[in-house]
Structure 1
Amino acid sequence: MSSCCLKGFKWVGVPQGGEAAINGQDCYVTGSNPNVAIIVIHDLYGWTFPNVRLLADHYATEVGATVYVPDFFDGVVLPPAIIDNPSEWDKLDLPNFMARNSKQARGPEMAALAKHLRTQHRRLGAIGFCYGGWAVFQLGSHVAEGVIPLVDCISTAHPTFLEKEEMLNVGVPVQILAPEKDPKFTEELKAFAVAEIPKLGLPFDYQYFPGLEHGFAVRGNRKDEAETRGLERAMRAAVGWFREWLVNV
């Protein structure tokens, strides 16, 4: 991980949902549609970060879905205030933090929650920001669980740790929201996605955000016109994607 995974801005707003244990997993839950649900997989700031909860509220209202933001860091979260204190970032033991939250450690519990939600809702989507980007591809894989992916569609903004093989294994409609400046979702990975995912015969929506940086869709500066325009465009894109593949089917 690097500073791009920590930098950004905390948004103003009060999340409207509540917390509940779902299949033994702590979750922020908002919305109440029994048929349509979305899993939001958080970035490095974790499931309590206000921005990710405000996004979940937005999806719940605009898509008309029950939205879940699970805790995939085992109760450990970064304090939101640290986003305003870059001098404190070097004090974080990120290598140890990420070792505890590796794909091998967290992938099985992500899959278990998705399996459970599959039994509760007719249609299920997933969106992942930064750290959560690799995870949605695994949930949408037609390889990991055999024939049927665990979700019906996926979206990701500026994914971290995403590998080419995970892109090739996806088996559901894919949306990628890609900023111009991203040391994690590199130019090589962007080119690979654009070239190879369409060959899978899947619906694919790739949206490019010139001038914007890694983290913009979940930690963008609301006081900057360009970043606000970009993050709101990303919000509209995700809403449209989920409406198409979860609601209008």
Structure 2
Amino acid sequence: MSECCKSGFSWDGTPVGKESTLADNKTYVTGSNKDAAVLIVHDVFGWTLPNTRLLADHYAKEANVTVYLPDFFGGEVVSPETMEDPKKREAFNVMEFIGRNSKDIRKPEIFACAKALKSQYGKLGAVGFCYGGWACFQLGAKGNNLVDCISVAHPSLLDEKEIDAVGVPVQICAPETDPQFSPQLKEYANRVIPGLGVPYDYQYFPGLVHGFAIRGDHTYKKQKDGLERAKNAAVYWFNEHLH
């Protein structure tokens, strides 16, 4: 992971959900549907980032789902100010952070949250941004029976084996410039997934960069249009596969 994973912009707005607990993880919850839910696996800025909570509210309202945004970093919080402050970005060692929050460390609790929701709801989707992308692919792997669809935006840490294994409807929102979801990995996904027998929606965003869907600049029209399109694409995906 690199500089693009820790830069971006804060959004205006006040989240309307509440804080609760899911499978022993502190969790932001929004929405009231008792039959369909969405699990968000966050980026490095975690479960408290207002941007992510605002997206959760949007999904809850527009896709008529109850949305859960758990803390998957054991209480460690990266300040949102890091996104726009060069000195704080420089001081934040993202690779050390990922070492503390590796796949092996965080996968069990991500799966525990999905299992808890699957036992409670008839339909469950998962959406992941950056760091959360690999987790959604693992949740949606053949034979897991944990989620009914996944949506990811500019996934990080994703590997070819995770793409090979996906067994549920999958949506990818991919910016043009993304060192994490590289041109080679884009090509691989677009070659392999159509042969897996699952619905596939590949959304391409020319001129945009890694992080746009969760940390894009609302004051810059191209970025604003892109992040609006990405969040509404996810809403369409959830409406299509969770109802």
User: TM bucket by the smaller chain?
Assistant: over 0.9
Equivalence for 2:133: 133
Distance 2:185 2:225 in 1: 25
Asked if residue 205 in structure 1 is aligned to residue 206 in structure 2, the reply is no
Task: Return the offset for 1:80.
Answer: 1.0
Letter in 1 for 2:123: R
* Deviation digits for residues 94-139 of structure 1 (CA, Å, limit 9, x no counterpart): 3321111000000011111101111111000000000000000000
Distance 2:28 2:165 in 1: 29
Matches within 5 A, 1:88-167: 88-142=88-142, 147-167=143-163
Distance 2:95 2:122 in 1: 39
Equivalence for 1:49: 49
Q: Structure 1 runs of 4+ off > 3 angstroms?
A: none
Distance 1:170 1:74 in 2: 27
Letter in 2 for 1:135: A
Asked if residue 185 in structure 1 is aligned to residue 177 in structure 2, the reply is no
Equivalence for 2:3: 3
* Deviation digits for residues 139-197 of structure 1 (CA, Å, limit 9, x no counterpart): 0011xxxx242100000000000000000101100000000000000000000000000
Letter in 2 for 1:175: Q
Q: TM-score, normalised by structure 1?
A: 0.96
Equivalence for 1:171: 167
> Residues 149 and 171 of structure 1 are in contact (CA less than 8 Å); yes or no, is this contact kept in structure 2?
no
Distance 1:180 1:23 in 2: 37
Unaligned runs of 5+ in 1: none
Equivalence for 1:230: 226
More deviation, 157-166/96-105 = 96-105
Equivalence for 1:195: 191
> Residues 31 and 64 of structure 1 are in contact (CA less than 8 Å); yes or no, is this contact kept in structure 2?
yes
Distance 1:93 1:86 in 2: 13
* Deviation digits for residues 11-44 of structure 1 (CA, Å, limit 9, x no counterpart): 0000000100112111000001110000011111
Distance 1:84 1:209 in 2: 23
* Deviation digits for residues 41-87 of structure 1 (CA, Å, limit 9, x no counterpart): 11110000000000000000000010000100000010111212022
> Residues 149 and 172 of structure 1 are in contact (CA less than 8 Å); yes or no, is this contact kept in structure 2?
no
Tell me the secondary structure at the aligned position of residue 14 of structure 1: coil
Asked if residue 37 in structure 1 is aligned to residue 33 in structure 2, the reply is no
Tell me the secondary structure at the aligned position of residue 10 of structure 2: coil
Letter in 2 for 1:165: K
* Deviation digits for residues 218-239 of structure 1 (CA, Å, limit 9, x no counterpart): 0000000101111100011000
Unaligned runs of 5+ in 2: none
Q: TM-score, normalised by structure 2?
A: 0.98
Q: 2:239 aligns with which of 229, 240, 243?
A: 243
Task: Return the offset for 1:93.
Answer: 3.1
Tell me the secondary structure at the aligned position of residue 64 of structure 1: coil
Letter in 1 for 2:147: V
Distance 1:227 1:92 in 2: 25
> Residues 171 and 202 of structure 1 are in contact (CA less than 8 Å); yes or no, is this contact kept in structure 2?
yes
User: Aligned residues: percent identity?
Assistant: 54
RMSD: 0.8
Equivalence for 1:87: 87
Equivalence for 1:75: 75
